[in-house]
């Protein structure tokens, strides 16, 4: 018999709060979420996705139109140009904020009035699955909660994590070079608040269970407004204990289990996604035993795929792919190559050598990129991420510099991503092949602004209507590839995947549908030289009819070979 919801919740809470009475706390959480103690559990290992799922990642105001709120503009663009292309939209934090382009939230329950309102959000959620950020690790120093912290009144007095400058905090894993503790004046004297990311982003104190209850209320509000995918931002840092690394602690994992339990009991089709920009082995732990994240970001994919395409050598990408465990049913990966943040370097730990990392950094620098740093426990500054637009990251090779294969290399990267196990996600500036925005970096003083451009809709329409424009060429071809992908059972996010061994210049893998009625061999020339592949090396079944889904080419002679131009890809399928 299935264990009642309340009993499960009490057991999880006891891990996080062993010295508290957890039954009343469980009751408060269930009441806040509108759930009964014996609410029926959703089906186990249920896939809330299929091969038709493709996510667009965008800021609320990435598209601008004079006299119109950006959320209205975004919805028009989605419905006019992407209604048959994407199934879900991740709108990056659309709340009132004080810094970090939205990730320093001032009010979790309001929409930034410069973007639009909740009706605009709900309208988009009515047309597409909606993914929103639960910015759960920290909150703005200008929020009402933090003002109450300063005044020592509720709600907020004990909502933020405080540190002691005399404690040994050298083991704490840092994603930034800024000070960890920030002194603030309060009505009862100076206190030092914990700031993992910046002094304007003050870490919340989940050791106070009232903070957890507050977030349960926030989650329910989002669900009622149409949000069905929850991105837990920076969740790896959630629980702090001085003397430890303060990342990936047991309480953090248990809190994710609690949030998932509440979310999926409220809405069985909802999905929890963890954002943990860390080395691959650490990232994989956020699946738990299929009871934490439904979906985890494949953070190693962007740097490894970019490195593969600029070096013309796929050995590291192939080694990584062979090491990736198949996701259990009910869980999967989120595949992306670019996002609003930079290309993370920590996910390459253990995958690229220090010399290879530096070579990648140097290559990106030559293509106009920048580097952001983090501070290690021994006080050294290490590269944390490369800030660059994906289109410019692929403008040439490490050996020869910029060349005339930029568009082909860019399309090859996305063809790889679209075929891999997991759900593909496109950052809007990759879908549009936007270049580095150096002017925006100068205006904001923030390196990440290089890939956070804002398009005038009039300028974008003009670019997308010009067949000579690389924006139009990339946009139309990516839409075509996505349309092909969405029809293939072998591209289901949980379909079988095996790595092929076709040399260092050809990256390949095989996908098979769960019913075993479709196989697709995904083969990519990742070099700037023509490659010849013997069909006998691919092991196509002779009794099947094989066709390249991308070009329409048919395979008539299995004893022959195929020729791939620089950065050309084929999806050889036994079903049209």
DSSP 8-state symbol, 172: -
pLDDT tens, position by position, 147-198: 999 999 999 999 999 999 999 999 999 999 999 999 999 999 999 999 999 9
- Is the pTM value of this prediction over 0.85? yes
Distance CA 431, CA 473 (A): 10
* 27-31, long-range: CB < 8 A, 24+ apart: 28/213, 29/212, 29/213, 29/216, 29/258, 29/262, 30/5, 30/6
Q: What is the mean pLDDT of residues 370-387?
A: 89
E strand or H helix that includes residue 90: strand 88-91
Q: What is the CATH number of domain 496-573?
A: 2.60.40.1180
Domain ranges in the chain? 55-141+223-229+270-491, 496-573
Structure tokens at 191: 């206190």
Distance CA 68, CA 526 (A): 43
Selecting among 53, 203, 233, 548, the annotated active-site residue is 233
Q: What is the mean pLDDT of residues 277-284?
A: 94
Distance CA 275, CA 459 (A): 33
pLDDT tens, position by position, 494-553: 999 999 999 999 999 999 999 999 999 999 999 999 999 999 899 898 889 999 999 999
Closest CA to 327 of 44, 41, 47: 47
Exposed, middle or buried by CB within 10 Å (0-12, 13-18, 19+), for 18? exposed
Q: What is the mean pLDDT of residues 423-450?
A: 97
Which CATH superfamily groups domain 55-141+223-229+270-491? Glycosidases (3.20.20.80)
Closest CA to 576 of 518, 505, 530: 518
pLDDT tens, position by position, 231-257: 999 999 999 999 999 999 999 999 999
Active site residue 36: no
Alpha helices in 99-208 (DSSP H): 118-127, 144-151
CB neighbour list of residue 516: distance below 8 Å, 6 or more residues apart = none
């Amino acid at each position: 018999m299935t264990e009642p919801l309340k009993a499960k919740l009490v057991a999880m809470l006891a891990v996080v709060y062993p010295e508290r009475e957890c039954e009343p706390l469980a009751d408060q959480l269930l009441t806040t979420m509108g759930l009964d103690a014996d609410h029926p559990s959703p089906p186990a290992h249920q896939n809330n996705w299929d091969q038709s799922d493709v996510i667009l990642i965008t800021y609320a105001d990435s598209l601008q139109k004079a006299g119109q709120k950006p959320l209205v503009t975004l919805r028009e663009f989605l419905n006019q140009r992407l209604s048959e292309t994407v199934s879900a939209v991740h709108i990056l934090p659309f709340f009132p904020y004080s810094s970090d382009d939205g990730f320093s939230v001032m009010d979790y329950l309001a929409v930034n009035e410069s973007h639009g309102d909740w009706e605009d959000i709900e309208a988009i959620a009515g047309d597409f699955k909606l993914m929103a950020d639960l910015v759960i690790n920290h909150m703005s120093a200008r929020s009402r909660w933090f003002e109450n912290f300063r005044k020592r009144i509720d709600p907020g007095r004990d909502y933020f994590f405080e540190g002691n400058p005399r404690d040994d905090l050298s083991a704490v894993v840092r994603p930034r070079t800024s000070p960890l503790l920030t002194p603030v004046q309060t009505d009862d004297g100076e206190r030092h608040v914990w700031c993992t990311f910046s002094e304007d982003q003050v870490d919340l104190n989940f050791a106070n269970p009232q903070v957890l209850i507050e977030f349960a209320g926030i989650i329910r509000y989002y669900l009622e407004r149409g949000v069905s995918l929850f991105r837990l931002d920076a969740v790896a840092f959630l629980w702090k204990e001085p003397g430890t690394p303060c990342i990936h602690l047991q309480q953090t994992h248990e809190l994710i289990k609690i949030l998932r339990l509440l979310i999926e009991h409220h809405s069985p089709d909802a999905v929890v996604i963890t954002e943990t920009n860390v080395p691959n082995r650490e990232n994989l732990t956020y699946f738990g035993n299929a009871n934490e994240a439904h979906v985890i970001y494949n953070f190693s994919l962007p740097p490894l795929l970019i490195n593969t395409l600029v070096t013309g050598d796929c050995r590291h990408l192939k080694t990584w792919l062979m090491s990736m465990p198949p996701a259990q049913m009910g869980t999967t990966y989120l595949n992306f190559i670019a996002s609003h943040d930079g290309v993370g370097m920590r996910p390459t730990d253990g995958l690229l050598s220090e010399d290879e990392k530096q070579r990648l950094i140097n290559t990106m620098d030559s293509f106009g990129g920048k580097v952001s740093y983090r501070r290690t426990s021994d006080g050294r500054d290490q590269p944390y991420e490369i800030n660059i637009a994906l289109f410019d990251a692929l403008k040439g090779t490490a050996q020869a510099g910029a060349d005339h294969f930029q568009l082909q290399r860019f399309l090859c990267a996305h063809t790889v991503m679209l075929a891999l196990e997991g759900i593909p996600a496109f950052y809007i500036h990759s879908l549009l092949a936007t270049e580095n925005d150096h002017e925006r970096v100068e205006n904001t003083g923030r390196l990440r602004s290089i890939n956070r451009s804002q398009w005038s809709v009039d300028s974008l329409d003009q670019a997308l209507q010009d067949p000579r424009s690389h924006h139009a060429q990339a946009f139309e071809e990516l839409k075509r590839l996505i349309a092909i992908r969405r029809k293939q059972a072998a591209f289901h996010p949980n379909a079988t995947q095996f790595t092929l061994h076709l040399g260092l210049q050809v990256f390949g893998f095989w996908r098979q549908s769960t019913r075993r009625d479709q196989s697709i061999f995904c083969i990519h020339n990742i070099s700037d030289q023509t490659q010849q592949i013997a069909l006998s090396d691919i092991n196509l079944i002779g009794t099947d009819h094989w066709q390249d889904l991308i070009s329409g080419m048919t395979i008539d002679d299995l004893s022959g070979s195929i020729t791939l131009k620089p950065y050309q890809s084929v999806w050889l399928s036994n079903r049209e």
